[in-house]
Structure 1
Amino acid sequence: MYCYDPRSFPYYALPFQAYPHYSLYYSVGTRQSPFYYQPYYLRPFQEVNPQVFMTSAKYMQSLMKDASMLLERMADSKEFAKQLMSNAQESKQKLVEDQIKHTGIQNIPVVSYTPDGLKLVFSRDIDTMNCCNLTLTVRWM
């Protein structure tokens, strides 16, 4: 096994990238251990900026409002539910999307379906970043 003294190497040449502000040796009782030790609690965290988090929560409220309105329509109208199910089972994607759009919701979900049910993915973007997603899976079997 090849031994070396890590104190003789610059910090960037070490195989485990020690940072210059951390000690390469720590004491165990009265002896020094030759292993690199970087305690997890010394890692710096980024400065907290709640603006994106708050904006995402605001947009998520509108997604939940639209999802709630759509679910209410599915639960209350037997005619709407029957037509939506039959169009989905017959793979009539355009008719399913049009039927969902005509419910009056602002955020139109991405719709996919299986023989077991319907999957609706509501999403919203802030500038170029996808900030929030809400996925609903409604089963009919």
Structure 2
Amino acid sequence: MYYSSFPYGFNSRQQAFMPVHPGYMAMPTPTPQNGRSPFPPVNTRKFNASANRFKQVMNEANLFIGTLTASDDFARQLMDAAQRSDQQEVERLVRSTGVTIKYNLSYTPSGIQIDFSNSDAQNSCCSLRMALGW
């Protein structure tokens, strides 16, 4: 690392940075008042529910990836439909893998991006973005 007499330096992208020193605190730590924590008690119920819903998203994404990796013919059909900008055929092919959850997809000459979402009107917790190049 290059050291200079100035408190600021530049990294490899020529962006200014301030070195972090062992005793430097970026943000003050909240102090307890009356011996109690300043934060509300931890409740993991919603966090666990989100994790369980995300498992469903992962399973759906696995259906798509499993079909894609198992079949060169499927991959060829998907790429061909995308290159022809045949949105209906691309959607049909994705659904043919067994995907039942909501998703948004976009494709370019260099790849495809699919955003799988398990969100509904009551719960908006989980999404997964898959970007694959070709």
- In the superposition, the TM-score normalised over structure 1's length comes to 0.66
Which residue does 1:130 correspond to in 2? 124
Which of 75, 83, 86 aligns to 1:89? It is: 83
Does residue 45 of structure 2 align to residue 51 of structure 1?
yes
Q: Does structure 1 conserve the Cα–Cα contact (< 8 Å) formed by 2:116 and 2:127?
A: yes
Bigger relative CO (Cα 8 Å, ≥ 6 apart): 2
Which residue does 1:98 correspond to in 2? 92
Stretches of structure 1 lacking an aligned partner (at least 5 in a row): 1-38
Change (3 A) 1:119 1:91: same
CA deviations on 1:86-133 (whole Å, 9 max, x unpaired) are: 111111112111111121122242111111101011112264442011
Distance, in Å, in 2 between the alignment partners of 1:101 and 1:92 is 14
CA deviations on 1:22-54 (whole Å, 9 max, x unpaired) are: xxxxxxxxxxxxxxxxx5222722322211111
CA deviations on 1:57-102 (whole Å, 9 max, x unpaired) are: 1111111111111101111111110010011111111211111112
Moved more, 127-136 or 50-59: 127-136
Aligned CA RMSD, in angstroms, stands at: 1.7
Q: Does structure 2 conserve the Cα–Cα contact (< 8 Å) formed by 1:109 and 1:123?
A: yes
Which residue does 1:115 correspond to in 2? 109
Aligned residue-pair number: 102
Stretches of structure 2 lacking an aligned partner (at least 5 in a row): 1-27, 33-37
- In the superposition, the TM-score normalised over structure 2's length comes to 0.69
